[in-house]
Structure 1
Amino acid sequence: MEMVILVDQNDNPIGTMEKMEAHRKGELHRAISVMIYNSKGEMLLQKRASSKYHSGGLWTNACCSHPLPGEKTEDAARRRLREEMGIDLQPRFAYKFIYRTDLDQNLIEHEYDHVFVGTFNGTPDINSSEVEDWKFVSTEWLKKDIRHNPDHYTYWFRLIIDQLTNKTIDS
């Protein structure tokens, strides 16, 4: 049973809860999102496996997950990037934000999302139980595609793209 870290509006831990229960109840919990760029400035996207418990088959950032109870967010970012994409690097913290949205499967995503950024020029070794496909794209192309096809992307990823500045993506 996977547990998540429940937090208050200031990101202070207030307890733990089983992951699916937290998503059914819409409890605010800590999350991570990792943005990876290559040296050309292109962003690495993953297409979530269709079998995922929510947002299956949608394009999103290189990796997104939850830190385990007692795990630092930066350690979780590195661990999940390795587990999902086969990329072993330590992304750096960029910023954090809160969001809440209703998802498919009658779930509610209410997360205090910690966004990390890193650089990688290789070929990911994807975990097919997590990731269906991947690609590097220019941010210009991505922003245009999100405008025209928002339903192809996860909700939190669209928020992150809206918030991105040159400062957060510089390596």
Structure 2
Amino acid sequence: MSEVWDIYTANRVKTGRVMERGSLFKQGDYHLVVHICLFNDRGEMLIQQRQADKAGWPGLWDVTVGGSALAGETAQQATMRELEEELGLSLDLTGVRPHFTINFGEGFDDTFLVTVPYLVDLESLVLQEEEVQAVRWANRHEILRMIDEGSFIPYLKSKIDLCFDMVGQYGAHQSQRK
């Protein structure tokens, strides 16, 4: 079954219309994308390596989790669903606002920054076979180097810096186990 997304206006108001993933966007139509970056108490980000047969960015490393919100989902609900699907992690983001939103050509990208004060045992994560092939912790400099080497999705380095800077200076949402 294909994904169905809500369509938003440029002012982030739902239009009441939906579209299927892969459909062409009409002028003035936008959709919602979410990312979550989990950080440990050493200031490292949990990153994932995409499966080699993925249509977009095959085999490259990425931030903890990302994906599109399905029709009817809030950014928080979409983020919780994606985190559960891809890594088997359950976090409660109810009432948590994204740390920042990036407007891009076809939508809005909400990014949540979350510190997990408890140890996340990477071996206990349940990776979604068709999406994720590996996970690991990485610091800012490792991720920036991976972008330079072409092994990480080519985000603007300033986005990665912003994630680490915001966690370091302003803190992140403190996760409790769900």
TM class by shorter chain equals 0.7 to 0.9
RMSD (CA atoms): 2.6
Q: What is the number of residues matched between the two proteins?
A: 160
Greater alpha carbon shift after TM alignment, 41-50 vs 10-19? 10-19
Deviations 1:26-45 (A, max 9, x none): 95311101111111110011
TM-score normalised by the chain length of structure 1? 0.80
The share of aligned pairs that are identical, in percent, is 22
Q: Check whether the contact 1:61–1:157 (CA below 8 A) recurs between aligned residues.
A: no
Q: Determine the C-alpha separation between the residues in 1 that align with 2:36 and 2:86.
A: 11
- Structure 2 stretches of 5 or more lacking a match? 173-178
Aligned to 1:107: none
Point out the structure with max Rg over C-alpha.
Answer: 2
Aligned partner of residue 69 in structure 1, secondary structure: coil
Q: Give distance in 1, aligned partners of 2:128 and 2:67.
A: 14
C-alpha contact (below 8 Å) 2:10/2:28 kept by paired residues:
no
Which residue does 1:4 correspond to in 2?
5
Distance 1:90 1:156, change over 3 A: farther
What letter matches 2:101 in structure 1?
Answer: K
**Structure having the larger proportion of residues in strand:** 1
Tell me the distance in 1 between the aligned counterparts of 2:165 and 2:82.
25
Q: Say yes or no: does 1:96 pair with 2:101.
A: yes
**114, 117, 138: which is aligned to 2:113?**
117
TM-score, normalising length: structure 2: 0.77
Whether the aligned pair in 2 keeps the contact of 1:81 and 1:88 (CA below 8 Å) is yes
Structure 1 135/168 Cα, relative in aligned 2: closer, same or farther at 3 Å?
same
Q: 1:157 to 1:84 in 2, by over 3 A?
A: farther
1:51 shift after superposition: 2.3
**Is the partner of 1:161 in helix, strand or coil?**
helix
Deviation per residue, 1:3-55 (Å, 9 max, x gap): 112222222222311011147x9953111011111111100111111222312
- The superposition leaves residues 116-140 of structure 1 with CA deviations (integer Å, 9 ceiling, x where unpaired) of 1223331232111110111101113
* Aligned with 1:65 (options 54, 67, 74): 67
Q: CA deviation at 1:159?
A: 6.0
Matched to 2:102, the amino acid is F
Letter in 2 for 1:6: I
- Whole-angstrom CA distance in 2 between matches of 1:159 and 1:16: 32
